[in-house]
Chains A and B, each alone.
Chain A
């Protein structure tokens, strides 16, 4: 048992060691810029990736400002797509499963927004379709992919690829989750510290 646990941990640790620092730093800059212009962040994925997207939205909208909920009303606006089961099933049933993200995205997307697409293979047709739509609208895309990155890593403006062997879903998802938490923690630390430093007068 000990060996099995060690082995699993080793795979995840190895993947963590190869995460693209520069791309993550650029993603943080993009997130800050979208906050500055009061734009929205749309995030989506399939299965486990959708669960991560949902978890992240909760953290990003609230947890970041946990220490400032009463003093700071300007917040991030992160939205998980599709935002209702009704949209998910309606698009899938009526049009096709490849439209479940692109369909709702078309309703919402404005020029001041930002996209985060999560896909371990990077090749899910519904993810690719939504990202291509954002590309055409010149809305920046942060792509979290795994394995060899697939199409998502080629199409994304910010390429956060967790390189693993093909099919290593658990490893990729562990590391994706870590990176998403890093984003939340970064802004949590940033705003908390700024608040302490500037004695409450945060102009951002």
Chain B
């Protein structure tokens, strides 16, 4: 049996500039961190059961990969050449479609596990690139490359997407003091509204030509964000998030909606410097950045507002930033093919 774990991520700046249509012309850049919420993929060898069994929110069994309806699993099996005799299950801390990049975390964990199943060791670079290829090229999803890279590498990074297709990951090396001080000023609110990233991204992609200048501004803000973070200038970061939110909102008409606007305003009125929708928008999570002293007041205001708006799945999610990327936690496969 093999157990692989991939973290979810919070992206702060530059989202959308990781889409090929944009970065292949102008170059893109994002800044994000992984958090202590994970997707786990468990893979089991079943030599005496010549089938493929997949367990997620539903359970499916098929004789060959082509017949699996879970798109990522089907594509993963086909690209690693595994035909049968395998059981795959996934377990997550949070529900899907929260805007925390869970689909790409799943893809990365799945691919790493399938390669381990075939006895192949794969580098971070290869894993990130293959995850992108699977989702964007094989499955044709209108998504970018930031989530796969964030999940694979782990920790706090800037990720640069060059026009020639090269992707450069650079760690943001802040010590625990800055990191925990930053955490003490963040609030993660799950709206309970789920959406498909694709629907928002499709609109955003169609509008891209018109919004090039704003997107360039978002990508360029990444380095400023990094510098201010290293200085511990959290107020400035909050203000930058607010500005970026206003700019990003104009990129796709369905990125925000009345519910999200009301929640965001509630947070701002209670004292948050700024915040953002996580992921492509339209639902998922809202991240607030606020003075430490205002944190409990904001949490209270948000909790009241959630009740008033009858958002029964909405809740504040406590979290910590982690250094973990996509990693094998357990590999009980035969190691006899690894000689010194």
Report the minimum CB–CB distance from A61 to chain B (whole Å): 19
Query: CA of A138 to CA of B122 in the docked complex: distance in angstroms?
Result: 7
B340 A29 Cβ-Cβ under 8 A? no
How large, as a class, is the contact surface on chain B?
20 to 34
- Complex Cα spacing A103 to B180, Å: 40
Provide the bound-state CA to CA distance between A133 and B340, in Å.
Answer: 5
Q: With contacts A133-B340, A136-B121, A137-B338 known, is A36 near B176, CB below 8 A?
A: no
A203 CA to B325 CA, complexed, in Å: 18
Q: How far is the CA of A86 from the CA of B70 in the complex (A)?
A: 52
Assuming A26-B171, A26-B173, A186-B176, is B325 touching A33 (CB within 8 A)? yes
Q: How large is the interface on A (under 10, 10 to 19, 20 to 34, 35 or more residues)?
A: 20 to 34
Please, which residue of chain B has its CB at the minimum distance from the CB of A25?
B173
| Interface mask (B44-78 → A, CB under 8 Å = 1, otherwise 0) | 00000000000000000000000000000000000
Q: B324 touching A37 by the CB < 8 A rule?
A: yes
Contact present for B323 and A32 (CB under 8 Å): yes
Q: Hey, what's the 0/1 contact readout for A97-115 against B, CB within 8 Å counting as 1?
A: 0010011011000111000
Specify which of B177, B184, B320, B322 is in contact with A33 (CB 8 Å cutoff): B322
From B21-29, B140-148, B280-288, B328-336, the one touching the partner chain is B328-336
Verify B327–A112 contact, CB threshold 8 A: yes
| A106, A111, A189: the one within 8 Å of B176 (CB) | A189
Mark contacts of B162-188 with chain A using CB atoms, 8 A cut-off: 1 yes-contact digit, 0 otherwise.
000000000101011100100010000
The minimal Cβ–Cβ distance linking A132 to chain B, given in whole angstroms, is 8
Interface flag for A11 (CB, 8 Å):
no
Docked complex: B106-141 residues within 8 A CB-CB of A: 116, 121-123
Which one, B180, B323, B331, contacts A36 given CB within 8 A?
B323
> Could you say which of A22, A33, A103, A190 contacts B155, with CB atoms under 8 Å apart?
A33
CB distance from A25 to the nearest CB of B (A): 4
Q: How close is A184's CB to chain B, nearest CB, in angstroms?
A: 14
Q: How far is the CA of A36 from the CA of B323 in the complex (A)?
A: 8
A204 at the binding interface (Cβ < 8 Å)? yes
The CA of A138 and the CA of B116, in the complex, are separated in Å by: 11
Q: CA A32 – CA B331 in complex, angstroms? A: 21
Q: Which residues of B contact A22 (CB under 8 A)?
A: 173
A-B contacts, 10 listed (Cβ < 8 Å): A29-B155, A33-B322, A106-B340, A111-B328, A136-B338, A190-B176, A193-B176, A194-B176, A203-B36, A204-B322
Residues in chain B within 8 A of chain A (CB atoms) = 5, 36, 116, 121-123, 154-155, 171, 173, 175-177, 180, 184, 318, 320, 322-325, 327-331, 338, 340
Residues of A near any B CB (own CB < 8 A): 22, 25-26, 29-30, 32-33, 36-38, 99, 102-103, 105-106, 110-112, 129, 133, 136-138, 186, 189-190, 193-194, 197, 203-204
